[in-house]
Structure 1
Amino acid sequence: MGTVEAYETTAGRRYRVRYRTPEHRQTDKRGFRTKRDADLFLATVEVSKATGEYIDPARSRTTVAELGADWLAAKKTRLKPSSYAALDDAWRVYVEPRWGRTQVSAITYGDVRTWVTQLAAGTAKTNRQQHPRTIKQGARPKSATVVIRAHGVLASILDLAVKDRRIPNNPARGIDNLPRKLRKPHRYLTHEEIERLATASGDHATLIYLASYTGLRWGELTGLRVRDVDALRRRLAVNENAVRVGTEIHVGTPKTHELRSVPYPEFLELPIARLCEGKPRSALVFGEGVDHIQRPRASGSSRSWFVRALDDAGLERMTLHDLRHTAASLAISSGANVKAVQRMLGHASAAMTLDVYADLFDDDLDSVSTSLNAARAAAIARS
């Protein structure tokens, strides 16, 4: 048990609590105005020690920046460069400026809630602000993705503080004012529209066809090598994903780390063979075979080949990723089952495919009601 001792100060009598930590290190806390308050604190300490919930005050004075460095280092070893870059950016731009110097024990639920509100409104302090008037002159609301990611970084760092027994609970969890991410409606092309877009794309026609009929991501398309093409089975082995992070191309495994084999239509046999002609097996299918081709911009004043092709084909502005949605739409409309579509797209599960493309199964609801009506009529007729 600890002890409670009185001592005199210029402001009057105060009380000091002396006690030992679970590691048997002696420490104290002073400044209690009444003996009752000191006794209550000591009782709380003893109970927390007995239940294994004791928090060392010295460890709780750790700052978010100190824990953030360790958290980011651990993430860097596990995540793909593109995923890590997003977290690192959220930390440097949004989390560290506001919370870096704050002790983890000083953070409250209300503080985090206010910060989330300010982030969404674009008035929170960030590393992109150059002077005090930036908030007034250039405040822009942040997207739900940005706010949720920044909050997730802070909450994850504080989770680490809880596990390290620096704080008893995480004040960033359970925040009720996080914005909701609204899923953008998918853009689907018809066979005729794909034909117009491919024709308008010129030398990039085969790339447009492959994206539209196989659902490969841009990094998977540009990471294809000659050895990945099985002309006899008309299959593409998806083994690599080439993603640009900053100014560098990082080559790694596909998004879900799952290697897969994707079929391509017969009409693409000759175009793919032409791309592979004269190249060694290790060469890239697209481009000259050595360097990965750059992703074209889908908007802006640069008018990339993709933007020009969309305009020439008379199509609305879209992204190359929308061609992946088109592949899913065409596969489902042709009668492919959900499991086959999941494997083609490289989704983690068929449930994910159903969730992402629920709008493509609306017609199935009509068939359900029709089948139920027929079953009822047959059952009544037999009775």
Structure 2
Amino acid sequence: MGETRMMYSKATLRANKPPRKGYQGVLSYKDEGGVWREKRHVLKATTKTDAKLELARWREEMEEKAGTMGDPSLKGVGIAVADYVDGIVDELEASGQVEAATVRSYHGSARYIRFAFSEVKMGELTPEQVREWEQGMVADGYSSSTIIKTHNLLKQAMKRAVERDVIPKNPLNTVRPPKRKKKNPGINALDGNARARILGLLGQMEATRITVAAQIALYTGMREGEICGLKWSDLDLQNGQLWVRRSIALGEGGAYEKLPKTDRVRDVVYPQTLACILKEWRATQKEEFLGEGEPWTADEFVLGTPSAYLHPSVLSRSWATLARSFGVKGTAGRLPTFHDLRHTWATMFLAAGGDVKTAASNLGHAKASMTLDVYASCDPDAKRRAADIVERAMLPHGA
């Protein structure tokens, strides 16, 4: 194994102060006395994307140089685990090879690592410390999904540290994260009676962003983020068709616009019942905008206000309150979440004889097999109908 690799804790991109254009890179590290220091470098790139790539290359060069020339920057084994992980996340972000949503997720996971290992050095981290930390997260009520994501980020960072000769072996190789648990196992769709009751209750209420969103979900199977990202220009109310072009996603910095989950624009058809609901809601929204002195255009979000789109978490929480007031439960015996309305559309469509490929297209699944995996056995009457079909087929003709 070669010399210990140096590691800068953080690489930051900063725009030059006007009137000077361009960017400069800043590398942060602690000296031997534990005092934070910085190294600066004027970058040649003129665009932010190119500057991020140049910054990553400069950081790589400086760390290589530090590893062979005895730079006073903090050595890899002596850097705090949390600082090293932050540095790896910064590298991934600067590379441009990781989706923005994934980077946001990494930053969120890195906060848990900082809370636990801000004082633990890279050369001191042990499997026992990691196990104790993860067991503590379980005891504190963190979801298995959160713990697994954080575990995977830490393991990935330690793997890179081994590849760079920062540490001799990955302390997470012998640590298994907790098994993933489904908070609400099983599809909790609404059966025919529950669907009719909820649609009836929604129809009797004054139209709001939440009631309209629920009806869109029931009639189309769209995700909450996609519904929040829907604009009037995406709808053809005359022919009952819409295009899913964007979604409102949640990240560490809050909500933001992104492409749909499969990164593909898709079209969804819907019945005239929903078209009438949307036409009435459009008239209501126009009046609201006019009352606030704001112009209305077809580029407005269907569920938006003059100032913003509807936040997906607001939609989910508001629907939960409404569902409790309705008291209607799904096939799994629980109050339906907003996402369960999507499940309801899928189970209803397939149970009524709709083909799987059309269901997958409407739902935005990459493959029809995914739709089958999720919904093939969620219709409670499907097996009984299958038994009846077999019995009829077994009877002799004319019987």
Distance 1:209 1:75, change over 3 A: farther
8 A Cα contact 1:200 1:309, kept in partner: no
Residues 200, 312 of structure 1: 8 Å contact kept: no
Please say if residues 240 and 252 of structure 1, whose CA atoms lie closer than 8 Å, have aligned partners that are also in contact: yes
Q: Say if 2:218 is the partner of 1:198.
A: no
Deviations 1:327-359 (A, max 9, x none): 222122122233322221122333333333354
C-alpha spacing 1:68/1:307, structure 2 compared with 1 (3 Å): closer
CA contact (8 A) 1:298 1:319 kept: yes
Deviations 1:227-273 (A, max 9, x none): 11123442211111123557854122122322211111221222223
Q: Which moved more, 1:61-70 or 1:331-340?
A: 61-70
Deviating more after overlay: 236-245 vs 102-111: 102-111
RMSD, aligned α-carbons: 3.7
Identity percentage over the alignment? 24
Shift of 1:370: 7.4
Q: CA deviation at 1:372?
A: 7.7
Cα displacement (A) at 1:216: 1.4
- Separation of aligned partners in 2, 1:168 and 1:371: 63
1: CA distance between counterparts of 2:92 and 2:222?
Answer: 27
In 1, the alpha carbon distance for the partners of 2:119 and 2:298 equals 53
Contact 2:356 2:372 in 1 (8 A): yes
Match of 1:211 among 205, 212, 217: 217
Instruction: Tell me the residue number matched to 1:98.
Output: 116
Query: Is 1:186 equivalent to 2:187 in the alignment?
Result: yes
Q: Match for residue 45 of structure 1?
A: none
- In structure 2, relative to structure 1, the CA distance for the partners of 1:366 and 1:107 (3 Å cut) is farther
SS in 1 for 2:207: helix
Match of 1:255 in 2: 261
Distance 1:86 1:201 in 2: 38
Establish whether residue 114 from structure 1 lines up as the match of residue 132 from structure 2: yes
Number of residue pairs matched by the alignment: 304
Distance (Å, rounded) in 1 between the aligned partners of 2:218 and 2:174: 41
Which stretches in structure 2 are left out of the alignment for 5+ residues? 6-66, 69-74, 287-295, 330-334
Of the candidates 285, 291, 295, which is equivalent to residue 302 of structure 2?
285
For structure 1, which segment, 307-316 or 105-114, has the greater mean C-alpha deviation from structure 2 after superposition?
307-316
1:64-99 per-position Cα deviation (integer Å, ceiling 9, x unaligned): 233212222245453345x5444323321x211322
Measured after TM superposition, the shift of residue 117 of structure 1 is 1.9
User: Secondary structure at 1:347's aligned position in 2?
Assistant: coil
Distance 1:121 1:284 in 2: 42
User: Distance between the aligned counterparts of 1:298 and 1:200, measured in 2?
Assistant: 21
Match of 1:227 among 213, 216, 233: 233
CA distance in 2, matches of 1:327, 1:79: 30
**Distance across 2 between alignment mates of 1:220 and 1:20:** 51
Check if 1:71 corresponds to 2:63.
no
C-alpha distance 89-308 of structure 1, shift in aligned 2 (>3 A): closer
Confirm or deny: 8 A CA contact 1:219 1:242 kept in the other structure. Answer: yes
Q: CA separation of 1:230/1:313 partners in 2, compared to 1, >3 Å: closer, same or farther? A: same
In the TM superposition, residue 365 of structure 1 has moved relative to its aligned partner by 5.5
Give the corresponding residue for 2:323: 310
**Which whole-Å CA distance do the structure 2 matches of 1:361 and 1:339 have between them?**
18
Q: What residue is the counterpart of 1:328 in the other structure?
A: 346
- Is structure 2 residue 198 aligned with structure 1 residue 176? no
Cα displacement (A) at 1:61: 4.3
Instruction: Identify the match of residue 356 of structure 1 among 351, 362, 374.
Output: 374
Question: What TM-score comes out, normalization by structure 2 length?
Answer: 0.64
Give the superposition deviation at 1:320.
Answer: 1.6
Q: CA deviation at 1:21?
A: 5.8
Deviation at 1:322, TM superposition (A): 1.8
Q: Aligned residue for 1:344?
A: 362
Cα distance between partner residues in 2 of 1:67 and 1:142:
24
Q: Residue 243 of structure 1 aligns to a residue in which SS?
A: strand
Residue aligned with 2:378, SS: helix
Structure 1 unaligned blocks of 5 or more: 1-18, 24-54, 123-140, 379-383
Query: Which of 267, 277, 293 lines up with 2:273 in the alignment?
Result: 267
Aligned partner letter, 2:256:
H
**Alpha-carbon distance in 1 for matches of 2:381, 2:124:** 54
Q: What secondary structure is seen at the aligned counterpart in 2 of 1:202?
A: coil
Shift in Å, 1:203: 0.8
The alignment partner of 2:268 has SS state of: strand
> What CA distance in whole angstroms lies between the structure 2 residues aligned with 1:307 and 1:111?
39
